[in-house]
Structure 1
């Protein structure tokens, strides 16, 4: 078993669903949790001549900042390659009606647990993946 696990992350923001949140899962078996955003895409059905602005807020840094400004006919895709460590993250469509699709992955690094028996024998174990 590898020492880390990657899980797909995706969400869609629109005028009917303006926010999406990644809730940090903090478990003792993990050393580090991070969310990596690789692409932000404007849907083919997006309105022409409308700017779509995606904003992010991290609970760790308490900062709100736009991460993508997309417009049909001008720019339909952003590749931000953003990483958020050990923090709940909320994405909001603060302007436009979308739909805007976001994708990336969640990385979980596991702690190497070492057990030492009474006779001094050492064993290493990674926690089970669910």
Structure 2
């Protein structure tokens, strides 16, 4: 089962940063977390003609890369649809004064406990039920072949 929540942050000026910290030690979610960025928007009050560049820095891969270049009057929104799995992420406005809004989803996966013994018992019962049916079909085929030979 997964828990899903809305993620939204605002970068309000040059060199403004926001960190998303993965909860790797969270016992409730041992399978991990994933952050999905769906949209990055430039605020209505952004300066006309000014470029606003959003950079992401991932801790796990030590990656620093721009993920959005926005400009009032030209590009007000991008839909990157990028995922960050089990790594802390820092978003930084490296150029422009924003505001820039980053929107997405935070998914937390927990472990579903499965009783392996009951599955094995169900499979054994299903196999036992199928075996007689196969034998009956073989017997019917043998009878049919035998009748065909007599004619």
TM norm. shorter chain > 0.5: yes
Aligned residue runs from structure 1 range 28-107, under 5 A: 28-30=27-29, 31-107=31-107
Unaligned runs of 5+ in 2: 119-151
1:15 is paired with a residue of what secondary structure? coil
| Deviation for aligned residue 1:101 | 0.3
Question: Could you say which residue in structure 2 is the equivalent of 1:13?
Answer: 11
Runs of 4+ in structure 1 over 3 Å off: 113-116
Question: Could you say which residue in structure 2 is the equivalent of 1:113?
Answer: 113
**C-alpha RMSD over aligned residues:** 2.0
State the aligned residue count.
117
Q: Please say if residues 36 and 81 of structure 2, whose CA atoms lie closer than 8 Å, have aligned partners that are also in contact.
A: yes
Higher helix share: 2
1:21 is paired with a residue of what secondary structure? strand
1:73 is paired with a residue of what secondary structure? coil
Give deviations 1:18-37, integer Å, cap 9, x for gaps: 10000111223321211000
Higher strand share: 1
| Deviation for aligned residue 1:85 | 0.4
Give deviations 1:46-72, integer Å, cap 9, x for gaps: 000100000000001101000000000
Larger radius of gyration: 2
